[in-house]
Structure 1
């Protein structure tokens, strides 16, 4: 059984959200949230809803779409590395109607899969619960959600697509692993590439905690499976493999010396010993992190 969502709880989490949005998450908790593993634990739900709540201010932003009608001063404040002040913005894009669209096409052009010299920058702006951004983001989330978002980006903001686009975004970014180890900052970094709005996201999660803790249900398994642990420790296991490889290379060089067999691949001591030491350190640190993450995963599996 998974953690169960109901309308009173969703309304408590999102007091001002359109009811159609809340019902979409409730109606699709088995068909969409479940397969994505989002409602398997309370910690995943806490991370999931706190970030969505921040991105769209509890589903209250107009049309669930990023507002690009910036003032010149606002644009200069958001991109200080690009513009010294508001006058610099006006000098580059003018003040005629539609200047913001030209600015977004320029600023976001040739990034996130957007094509330079096109209207991709203003077309693939933030939409939906996760505020998907960029042509690449729309393509990847659309493929996972089985929605033609690259061709019709506006449907990412439809009320009855919020469960699908939010779950697809979460899956694309592999955020279950961050929630399972309690790494909220890591989750936020995956979400928006930095820690923008971190304090607000944390505050929203703290406000939601009691509501989510009261939800009925439990994880589908009594303890986290190997797949859950493997997903959360993937980086550390790769590090162990790489560190172990360094030890093998160093050891092989020593073996050449001991057997007296000459080889062009043999390494001098001043290279071999530091290589072995580095490999051992990598393995030890990664092993400690795996133990810690396993402990965190079991703690959050409720």
Structure 2
């Protein structure tokens, strides 16, 4: 499997310098709360006490899932490609958010079961026309999984070469909350019942059916619960590409903004491949999908927002971006007590 050389951000000298700078801004010590924590984290990521945010990208990986054949989603499979068409026309939720906050939207065909137009700016990394049905076997081959990690990383490298140093990740793939629920239960030991939610809008009967299908899929799996095996058995192409993208972003010392339930599970998988990746992650929000808060708690994550979001696409991550921007502006634009001739008042 592709290797990622991710350095931890820990640096005692730099940390002391950044904390000292933050504490000497014209405010009571700690009075800007999470902004101070974020500023320190970003300083450590960028190895400077004068951090910057440059050319943010939202990389959206899209693919179809074989498990949809079992009726686990309210939405039919064709919604995947239809929504990508909506992305291209600028009419989706992620489009207005990218426009509002200055993000470049990058759409990656990871494995959509449709012939998407190649002349519209979509990055073609189609592994196959959707994964296999994991109720009966592996969703993808080991070779496909490795290709996903490689392609996901390549997309981040391209963003980095475009001058980007802060990246959010989004996904589009009908059925991917089912895959995420199985990743969550297999990698955390949280009972499957607590990991399964409504997805795109299932009613109680639909959620029960979804749980029963996923429980059967889990019972049918007889392999080891390594992260590689779980990604291969139950993953989506877009999810594994996101794992590769996150690992590469950390390797390049980029800020990673995480979206909802699916992308949080991808960060969980990435952190089991290389624990240092979490140093680079900012958790954007707590979503409404059942299980999201549980996995955030499991990862000791502190999400910035709670807006009852469950859209995906990277929407919650981008909604959190202005708070990150505020943290960077705080450390760069606030004056110090000495420069402003103000007596320290803490």
- Tell me whether the two structures share a fold, i.e. TM-score over 0.5: no
Relative to its length, the structure with more strand (as a share) is 2
TM-score by length of 2: 0.26
TM-score by length of 1: 0.29
Relative to its length, the structure with more helix (as a share) is 1
Larger Rg: 1
